[in-house]
């Protein structure tokens, strides 16, 4: 829950500082949301470990590179979009470093991930 | 330091470094679009406008100077030049010579905002790491990776 709060806090900062660039906060929230989904599975599948969380974040970053270079590439491959979504992924990972399968972290991560992903897509493309 | 703490610290450091690198990438990319860090000396051979998701808001201006390599620049930089103009500046100069006439360069609002946001994110990452660890319940099993 603390991690989700941090994502919302930084998302609000994006909204305030980049009022005209809603795609920035959109990429940030979508990056966090998608990573929360991956982490919800990983925490259940690889309990009592922390490095799988880190590796999952890096995998999410790489998936972001691939999607930015292909399906979401419009005018150019934008490093700022990549950075924004990767920062969301990192914050999601930090919040899940101490997560355990039996502490409802995965449930919270899955629910928050869905909301953040949908909200992120809305801001990125609306 | 117990091995469990080592496991947490190194994993947290790995994520924090990843976050700092991407915050730096975002800030540097936006600063570079002002062309202030760049050295330029040549003739503008192309100016291209590309549309992104929100035409008129996130338009991408690309210019090429002699070598043909396109570089993404801020809108106000693209407004300063036309194809065929001679441009010259040293790295980190805040003035661009266009056909011998100096034109001022400045950071975009986005670049200034990212230079403010990047350290904020770094502080949030470190604070969240500490808070997550401190608030985790005592008596948990060893989870060292």
pLDDT digits (tens, 9 = 90+) for B75-84: 999 999 999 9
Instruction: For chain A, 126 residues long, give each residue's pLDDT as a single digit of tens.
Output: 788 999 999 999 999 999 989 999 999 999 999 999 999 999 888 767 789 999 999 999 999 999 988 877 787 889 999 999 999 999 999 989 887 766 788 888 999 999 999 999 998 887
Which residue, B114, B28, B103, is CA-closest to B72? B28
**What percent of chain A has pLDDT above 90?**
67
Q: Tokens 């990573």 sit at which residue?
A: A35
Q: For chain A, say whether B141 makes contact (Cβ under 8 Å).
A: yes
Looking at residues B28-39, what average pLDDT do you find?
96
Q: How far is CA B111 from CA A38, B27, B90, in A?
A: 31, 6, 20
Mutating which of A94, A96, A123 best tests the B interface, going by the most B Cβ atoms within 10 A? A94
The sheet carrying B95-98 orders its strands as: B70-73, B60-65, B40-50, B86-89, B95-98, B101-104
pLDDT at B138: 57
| Other Cβ atoms closer than 10 A to B133 | 15
What is the torsion angle, in degrees rounded to the nearest 10, for the CA atoms of residue A99, residue B127, residue A31 and residue B33? -160
Q: Which residues pair with B97 in a beta bridge?
A: B88, B102
Q: Which residues pair with B95 in a beta bridge?
A: B104
pLDDT digits (tens, 9 = 90+) for B35-74: 999 999 999 999 999 987 778 777 899 999 986 678 999 9
Residue positions counted in chain B: 145
pTM reported for the whole predicted model:
0.90
Q: Identify whether the C-beta of residue A97 lies closer than 8 Å to the C-beta of residue B15.
A: yes
- In eight-state DSSP terms, residue B145 is -
Contact B128 A2 (CB under 8 A): yes
- So what's the ipTM on this one? 0.92
pLDDT band at B143 (very low <50, low <70, confident <90, very high): very low
Strands (E), chain B: 40-50, 60-65, 70-73, 86-89, 95-98, 101-104
Angle at CA of residue B128, ends B127 and B133, nearest 5°: 105
Q: Which residues pair with B71 in a beta bridge?
A: B63
CA distance A111 to B60: 35
Q: Tokens 């930090």 sit at which residue?
A: A94
3-state secondary structure of B9: helix
Chain A with chain B: Cβ pairs closer than 8 A: 132
pLDDT at B5: 62
Angle at CA of residue A50, ends A47 and A54, nearest 5°: 120
pLDDT at B25 over 90: yes
Q: Which of 10-49 (B) contact A at CB < 8 A?
A: 11-12, 14-16, 18-19, 22-23, 25-26, 29-30
Contact A23 B58 (CB under 8 A): yes
Contact A2 B125 (CB under 8 A): no
Q: Which two tokens stand for residue A41?
A: 């599975």
């Amino acid at each position: 829950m603390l991690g989700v709060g941090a994502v919302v806090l930084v998302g609000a900062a994006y909204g305030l500082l980049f009022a005209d660039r809603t795609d920035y906060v959109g990429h940030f929230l979508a990056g966090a949301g998608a990573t929360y989904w991956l982490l919800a599975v990983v925490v259940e599948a690889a309990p009592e470990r922390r490095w799988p969380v880190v590796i999952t974040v890096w995998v999410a970053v790489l998936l972001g590179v691939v999607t930015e270079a292909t399906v979401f590439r419009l005018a150019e491959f934008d490093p700022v979009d990549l950075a924004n979504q990767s920062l969301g992924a990192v914050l999601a990972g930090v919040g899940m470093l101490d997560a355990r399968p039996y502490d409802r972290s995965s449930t919270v991560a899955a629910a928050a991930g869905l909301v953040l992903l949908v909200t992120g897509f809305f801001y990125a493309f609306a | 330091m117990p091995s469990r703490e080592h496991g947490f610290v190194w994993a947290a450091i790995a994520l924090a470094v990843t976050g700092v690198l991407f915050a730096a990438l975002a800030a540097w990319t936006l600063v570079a679009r002002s062309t202030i860090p760049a050295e330029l000396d040549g003739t503008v051979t192309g100016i291209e406008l590309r549309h992104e998701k929100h035409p008129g808001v996130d338009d991408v201006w690309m210019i090429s100077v002699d070598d043909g390599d396109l570089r993404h620049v801020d809108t106000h930089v693209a407004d300063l030049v036309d194809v065929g103009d001679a441009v010259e500046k040293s790295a980190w100069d805040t003035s661009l010579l266009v056909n011998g006439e100096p034109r001022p360069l400045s950071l975009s609002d986005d670049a200034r905002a990212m230079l403010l946001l990047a350290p904020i994110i770094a502080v949030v990452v470190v604070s969240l790491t500490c808070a997550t660890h401190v608030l985790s319940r005592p008596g948990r099993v060893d989870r060292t990776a």
